[in-house]
Amino acid sequence: MGNTFSASPLETTSLFAKLVKIEHTVFALPFAYVGAFLALGKVPSAGQILWVTVAMAGARSLAMALNRLIDAGIDARNPRTAGREIPSGKLSPAAVLGFCGVALIVFLVAVWQLQPIVRWLWPIPVVAFVVYPYLKRFTWLCHIWLGVVDGLAPVGGWVAVKGTLPWEAWALGGAVAAWVAGFDLFYALFDVDIDRAQGLHSWAVRFGERGVFVGARVMHLLTVVFLAAAGVGLHTGGWYWAGVVAVAALLGYEHSLVRPGDLRRLDAAFFTMNGVISVTFFVFVLADVL
């Protein structure tokens, strides 16, 4: 493995940013804001927004770094992922483990600035982060677990500013869980042959390409259902419902980009459209609470 101390501070920072795919924060962070904004029915205070942001950044960095660390051996045997920071030797396992420690500290510092109940709940996502990378070794339900982990974003945002966990918060969490699980089924198609050769489990390995499409469609239908249920429970206004319609339309467009036997635009469906979906829905929620 390489030695990160030979790199400049700027280069090392860039390597860690790539390790945790910091640009993908756009998937989860807007939904944490959605939970916080809908919990209060208004824009939270600047302090609340700041510490929710810091907590999400710490939690997501910890989750991604743990995933890369635990999966380093698997990544090294996969041509698509062999160039990642740990398998390629650009970052050492020890350096990444230290980064995990820093991310955990950042997360905990933020947690202690939010509602007191969060100080008791913080181990739940951390345990979930550790468990997730191992699941592909045992079960094709790993995608559902990933969805549940990311579904904690709006739930966490809600409880962080309100201190309660009503069913509407869980409905929002269910929407994100189904959304993430659905597009992770598509993502598994990138590695189906390698996973099968390595004895790893995924929805794609278990049910094939057509099974992925069926599963993803069901998950994304559930996303819209959960968002609608939360809207009914919260008595939201027209902007919220326009957001639900926009999410449904964008999910439909995402599914139109790929079809069994034609995955040429899978990157666009996964990366671009999902970032658009999360930001778009947040904008509509923001308009609704203003």
* Average pLDDT over every residue of 203-223: 96
Q: How many domains does the chain have?
A: 1
Tell me: pLDDT of 106 over 80. Answer: yes
* Average pLDDT over every residue of 193-213: 94
Structural domain span for residue 255? 4-289
Tell me: pLDDT of 3 over 60. Answer: no
Average pLDDT, the chain: 92
Q: How far is CA 96 from CA 20, 62, 103, 213, in A?
A: 10, 10, 10, 35
The predicted-structure confidence for 66-97, as pLDDT tens digits, reads as follows: 999 999 999 999 998 999 999 999 999 999 99
Confidence of residue 26 (pLDDT cuts 50, 70, 90): confident
pLDDT the model gives residue 102: 96
Q: What are phi and psi of 211, to 5 degrees?
A: -65, -35
Tell me: pLDDT of 265 over 50. Answer: yes
* Average pLDDT over every residue of 21-44: 89
* Average pLDDT over every residue of 26-54: 94
Range name among 11-20, 148-157, 194-203, 244-253 with the lowest pLDDT average = 11-20
pLDDT the model gives residue 4: 43
CA trace torsion 195, 198, 202, 203 (10° rounding): 70
Tell me: pLDDT of 2 over 50. Answer: no
| Burial of residue 211, with CB atoms counted within 10 A of its CB: 0-12 exposed, 13-18 middle, 19 or more buried | middle
Tell me, what amino acid is at 267?
Answer: D
More confident residue, 53 or 270: 53
pLDDT the model gives residue 268: 65
* Average pLDDT over every residue of 155-172: 97
Tell me: pLDDT of 264 over 90. Answer: no
CA separation for the pair 188, 212 (Å, rounded):
9
* Average pLDDT over every residue of 264-278: 78
pLDDT the model gives residue 254: 87
3-state secondary structure of 80: coil
The predicted-structure confidence for 215-242, as pLDDT tens digits, reads as follows: 999 999 999 999 999 999 999 999 999 9
* Average pLDDT over every residue of 33-37: 97
Helices (H), the chain: 9-19, 25-40, 46-70, 72-76, 93-111, 118-121, 123-135, 142-162, 167-187, 192-198, 203-234, 238-257, 266-267, 273-289
Q: How far is CA 86 from CA 57, 83, 98, in A?
A: 21, 8, 13
Of the candidates 216, 201, 192, the residue with the CA atom closest to the CA atom of residue 141: 201
Q: Give Dmax (Cα) for the chain.
A: 56
CATH code, domain carrying 132: 1.10.357.140
231-265 burial, b at 16+ Cβ within 10 Å, e below that, comes to beebebeeebbebbebbbebbeebbebbeeeebee
Confidence of residue 6 (pLDDT cuts 50, 70, 90): low
Tell me the pTM. Answer: 0.93
